[in-house]
Structure 1
Amino acid sequence: MCQAAPNRNDNLNRPMGVKMGVKTSDIGEKTGKRNEVQAVGETSKKKDLYGCINFSPSLSTDAESLEEIRVDMCRKHNQNPKNHDWDTIETQLRETYSLQRDNINEGECVRDLLSKWPFLFTGRCLFLLFKLLVGLDIRNTICEAFSKKAHRLNKFLKTESGICKETDELIREAKVQTAKDSVIAWPPANILAIMKYLSEKEEEPCFTVDDTSTRSEAADTDSLPWIVCSGKSVLEAKKFRIVVDRVVVLSDLTSFITSLSALFALFYIRNIQYQHGASATLEFIQRCFVGINPDKGSKSDRKRKSSCAGSVNAKVLLRLINQMANFEWTTC
């Protein structure tokens, strides 16, 4: 099990009905002004424009019709999954999107959302909702980014004296693991290399559990989204689960990229900040791999003191982004 994140105890003591967003320290004590990613558990609806194009759509005036569709989707979920008409389900999700966002923005916990919207956190529906919210096909975007940038990223990190040896070790281990078990170990190796460069914790936002771990053991996390890797290490993992609010929302995933895509989708759909111990890495992926580059705001908690474990100065992250962009330009 991973080491606890600096804010883990606060999250564990948080009532299950309250989501995790920006800490109260992010709320101006004197002015009362808020950052774009706002605190949760409030009575008023949140507004987060950080990369979103459809965060809080107006509710349809025909609320009764939306509720009928929602009930029908619950009924379908109780049927044999083999009989699910996914095209119809996705159409219904689009039709009820405004009601879903209203429930999410009001701060309903994952268990309540799963009860009302049982298809909400299934793989294909999660990616659909991210596309409606942000306008991107998250999985295809990350897949294309890895295929185009991973090799150049490794070459760049090899030029950095402080990270060169560790990057070489990760690449060698990824080669061995890929040949041994036909596990595609390159994507997690790339992520771990970035984390080492930024001096962040590889236990966040992923941690490993034994292959025989139960569903409840896998859900033993704080409220933030996590990738639970079944195996001895992230590189050796063959199965992945996604947990948020200590609820396993996706299980039996066999692709790290799919798992990473689902993780990003949850951070945005649920309006949650990145884990502090991996926030710079996640923001690097967000900007360089996913292509979400808002001029203002951040999903990283940069108001923590620099002495905190895992904290990364914003200038360090910006330098990495610029160096990587220059390296791609001069080596392509």
Structure 2
Amino acid sequence: MKIEILEKLAENIYSYKAYPGNEEIESVAAALIEKHPCLKEPSSTSGWYGWKISLKFKMGNYRQKLRDAGCQELKVNCERRGLGETRGKRNKVKKPRRCETNFLPDLPQGKDRESLEKEREQMAVEMTKRTPDITIVDAAMSSTYSLRRQEVVDEEPPVSQMKIRWPAIFTERQISKEFTRLVSKDLSKSFLEGLDGHLSKLIQLFRSKRYEDVPEMTSILESLDKNPSDRDEDVIKGMVIGILVVVENVMEPLPEFYNDVALVIEEEVVMRHLSDIPNAFLNLMGLVYALNLDYPKELKFTFEVIQRLFIGVGSESCTARVHSLKSKLLR
């Protein structure tokens, strides 16, 4: 009976996440005992510690079975460790790093790469029209998700190539949908609710004496007090990832009006005419996930705060520095 229980639990856990963390395994074991008190272990203080250990081993065995059966998401991580015949690829293949729930799915049943490639071509042609048919684009982007993820993770194409092959992914609508496919969360709702929830406490922290000698922060706070609220190629030269704001004759750090707000990735403007900086940032986060990009090294903690505290993805496993900020925000 225990083997059957563990099999069912592993199957259900895998439907949500292939690589659950320690706390997530604990929560499942605790929920099992709460739902079925007869399964409580008399020799365990918590009553579920043995179930937790058994479940961790069962998840490993379950993944191995699926890997042997040809599951793409698990095979690719086997390659990453340098096992089997693909030892030379191990440094290129990436395991989920930012709590993706649907990182590298297999192709849909009844479809192969050739049929999905035809759907991709139809989508690309539709995107060349002045007014693309949203229904066609939505359906094509949804059905070709597995093909796109295998391309992004395995081949790591440059952004310029992705813009040609997958033009729809550089629209606000599809960024939001792709993020939901990857993380099972609504990007805009999560980001804006998280930002609103922490904003007043963040401003309070920034106004503390600790930041009074940071001129950039001082000027922004002064601008907040006053007002709550042709591109030159040299500007984006060397810019790996960033937000480009175009203003005219405005000296304040937070102007009332923007001529344009754009996203730059790999020295290329990939999106324009975004309404404001928060909207640009949430679309930037969506593209980071959709294109499997690294966080900029010098801003990795900033991006981690956005991911874990504002959007709420992987909030249970923060780094020490981000956990310290989280504690201050929740006081």
The TM-score range, normalised by the shorter chain, is 0.5 to 0.7
Task: Report which structure shows greater RCO (CA 8 Å, sep ≥6).
Answer: 1
Instruction: Confirm or deny that 1:77 pairs with 2:95.
Output: no
- In 2, Cα distance between the equivalents of 1:146 and 1:287? 11
Q: 1:317 is matched with which residue: 322, 326, 331? A: 322
- How far residue 177 of structure 1 moved from its aligned partner, in angstroms, is 4.1
Q: 1:235 is matched with which residue: 254, 274, 277? A: 254
Q: Which runs of structure 2 are paired with 1:180-199 in the superposition (5 Å)?
A: 184=229
- In 2, Cα distance between the equivalents of 1:89 and 1:74? 9
Letter paired with 2:237: D
Q: Which runs of structure 2 are paired with 1:81-160 in the superposition (5 Å)?
A: 83-105=131-153, 106-158=155-207, 160=208
Partner of residue 236, structure 2 = 219
Contact 1:50 / 1:294 at 8 angstroms: preserved in 2? no
Closer/same/farther in 2, CA of residues 292 and 234 from structure 1, 3 Å limit: farther
Task: Name the larger-Rg structure.
Answer: 2
- In 1, Cα distance between the equivalents of 2:107 and 2:91? 17
- How far residue 246 of structure 1 moved from its aligned partner, in angstroms, is 1.7
- In 1, Cα distance between the equivalents of 2:196 and 2:92? 42
Instruction: Confirm or deny that 1:56 pairs with 2:104.
Output: yes
Q: Give the structure with the higher percent helix.
A: 2
Contact 1:122 / 1:249 at 8 angstroms: preserved in 2? no
Q: Which runs of structure 2 are paired with 1:21-32 in the superposition (5 Å)?
A: none
Q: Deviations along 1:243-294, whole A, 9 cap, x unmatched?
A: 1122211012121111110121122222222222222222122221111226
Letter paired with 1:226: G
Structure 1: runs of 5 or more not aligned = 1-31, 35-40, 179-183, 185-211, 299-313, 327-332
Q: Which runs of structure 2 are paired with 1:232-271 in the superposition (5 Å)?
A: 234-236=253-255, 238=258, 239-271=260-292
Q: Percent identity?
A: 22
Q: Deviations along 1:163-222, whole A, 9 cap, x unmatched?
A: 2686675333124244xxxxx3xxxxxxxxxxxxxxxxxxxxxxxxxxx424x3453234
Closer/same/farther in 2, CA of residues 71 and 169 from structure 1, 3 Å limit: closer
CA RMSD of aligned residues (A): 2.8
- In 2, Cα distance between the equivalents of 1:143 and 1:52? 20
Contact 2:194 / 2:312 at 8 angstroms: preserved in 1? no
- How far residue 233 of structure 1 moved from its aligned partner, in angstroms, is 6.1
Letter paired with 1:115: I
Letter paired with 1:128: K
Q: Deviations along 1:113-152, whole A, 9 cap, x unmatched?
A: 1111111211211121111111122122111222222123
Closer/same/farther in 2, CA of residues 234 and 77 from structure 1, 3 Å limit: farther
Closer/same/farther in 2, CA of residues 163 and 267 from structure 1, 3 Å limit: same
Closer/same/farther in 2, CA of residues 43 and 67 from structure 1, 3 Å limit: farther
Partner of residue 297, structure 2 = 276
